[in-house]
């Protein structure tokens, strides 16, 4: 479970921006909250609102880039290759490091992991954990200087094998280091992202091809979504396969007729829902943290709301999955859907071009307040200033 994420000097984010899943003292919708240790309470869903180009996607990009540097393509850089630093572009911050910090729970243990880097290498890196409720250092790093508390001699050997452009969390796991294994495993197992359709579609297709309960759950959701699809088939060879959606028509005489359409012939919204639902069901089953950019893209608001409600519903979300998404749909600014501590805003300063991230709770809105109306009226900021001082010309 994710507790908090912070990013500094990345794209439009200059100073440190932090998002937190920690529940406030809000007493509403308490049954939707989740707990990693039966003490702390976390929210299962976070919505990020803001104008176009405000930096919403950059917050998610930073979180998923952290994953990529740990267990993705950027974890496999050869010695001397550049790291994927994208510093704040509107000031001379190219010499300043980018830093990420994340606090999360894995198998009941709290971890805090962070690092700073530039294009040429890792500058600092640290990992703390709370195995018995007390903070304990696992390792810390200042360039090529390391500190360890356990298994020191072996870890010093692993540190000497860690290139300057690689994270120790990554290299130590390649050598089966017990001290860092679980902290690494959370990123590999639990942090998932949807920023396009390809990765998500693969998971849905795999479930359809395997059949069984996973396929039945996907078909159930397709029916629930009122898409008119009774079955999905994958036909053709492995190298040249096609997805067919099976529909059934019932005549006035009660005669059923079955016909198929290639998925590419279905509406864009149907294709989008189909590509995502597999990852959604997998996240709910595995208790993953699902990061989704523009959650409403090409889908009906009621359909998108249903996906959010699945994560909010404790009876459905039994494995304590979490969802973080960006959106422009003000229909989700509904205090019967989301608590006040689940709504966050992203705003870019028009003079400095810096992104600021803050929560709705900063404004202490009343329980019965119309959040959607207040947002569109500019009460919480994070909306476009349309027109400004630009005169209209015919």
The DSSP string of 324-390 is EEE---GGG--TTTS-GGGEEEEEE-TTT--EEEEEGGGG---TT--HHHHHHTTTT--S---STTP
Q: Return all residues near 311 (Cβ < 8 A) that are at least 6 apart.
A: 44, 45, 284, 290, 317, 321, 322, 323
Residue 340 tokens, joined: 């006040």
Q: What is the pLDDT of residues 298-341, one digit of tens each?
A: 888 989 999 999 999 999 999 999 999 999 999 999 999 999 99
Both tokens of residue 377?
């009226």
Confidence (pLDDT) at 391: 55
Euclidean distance between CA atoms 185 and 243, whole angstroms: 33
**Which CATH class, in words, describes the domain spanning 1-195+293-297+315-384?**
alpha beta
All residue ranges of the chain with pLDDT < 70 are: 92-94, 196-199, 238, 386-394
pLDDT recorded at residue 238: 65
Paired with 250 in beta bridges are: 256
pLDDT score at 224: 84
Predicted model pTM: 0.93
Residue 337: per-residue pLDDT: 97
Q: Are 4 and 18 in contact (CB under 8 A)?
A: yes
Tokens of 99: 């830093």
The domain limits of the chain are 1-195+293-297+315-384, 196-287
Sheet of 191-194: strand order equals 191-194, 289-292, 322-326, 45-49, 343-348, 355-359
């Amino acid at each position: 479970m994710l507790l908090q994420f912070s990013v500094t000097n990345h794209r439009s984010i200059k100073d440190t921006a932090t998002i937190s899943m920690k529940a406030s003292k809000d007493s509403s919708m308490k049954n939707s909250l989740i707990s990693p240790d039966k003490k702390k309470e976390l929210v299962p869903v976070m919505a990020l609102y803001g104008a176009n180009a405000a930096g919403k996607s950059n917050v998610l990009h930073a979180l998923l880039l952290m994953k990529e540097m740990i267990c993705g393509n950027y974890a496999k850089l050869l010695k001397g290759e550049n790291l994927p630093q994208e510093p704040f572009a509107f000031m001379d911050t190219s010499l300043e490091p980018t830093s990420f910090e994340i606090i999360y729970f894995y198998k009941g243990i709290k971890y805090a992991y962070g690092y700073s880097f530039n294009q040429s290498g890792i500058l600092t890196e640290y990992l703390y954990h709370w195995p018995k409720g007390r903070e304990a250092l696992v390792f810390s790093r200042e360039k090529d200087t390391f500190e360890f508390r356990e298994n020191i001699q072996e870890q010093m050997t692993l540190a000497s094998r860690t290139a300057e452009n690689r994270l120790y969390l990554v290299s130590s796991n390649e050598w089966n280091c017990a001290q860092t294994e679980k902290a690494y495993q959370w990123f590999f197992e639990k942090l998932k992202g949807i920023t396009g359709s390809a990765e998500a579609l693969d998971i849905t297709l795999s479930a359809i091809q395997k059949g069984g309960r996973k396929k039945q759950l996907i078909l159930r959701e397709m029916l629930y979504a009122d898409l008119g699809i009774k079955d999905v088939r994958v036909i053709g060879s492995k190298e040249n396969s096609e997805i067919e959606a099976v529909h059934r028509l019932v005549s006035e005489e009660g005669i059923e007729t079955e016909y198929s359409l290639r998925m590419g012939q279905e509406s864009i919204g149907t294709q989008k829902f189909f590509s995502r639902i597999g990852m959604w069901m997998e996240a709910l089953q595995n208790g993953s943290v699902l990061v989704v950019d523009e959650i409403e893209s090409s889908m009906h608001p009621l359909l998108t709301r249903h996906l959010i409600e699945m994560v909010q519903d404790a009876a459905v979300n039994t494995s304590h999955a979490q969802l973080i998404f960006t959106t422009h749909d003000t229909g989700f600014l509904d205090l019967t859907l989301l608590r006040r501590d689940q709504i966050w805003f992203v705003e870019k300063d028009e003079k400095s071009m810096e992104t600021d991230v803050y929560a709705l709770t900063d404004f202490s809105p009343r329980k019965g307040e119309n959040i959607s109306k207040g947002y569109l009226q500019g009460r919480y900021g994070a909306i476009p200033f349309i027109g400004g001082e630009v005169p209209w010309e015919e």
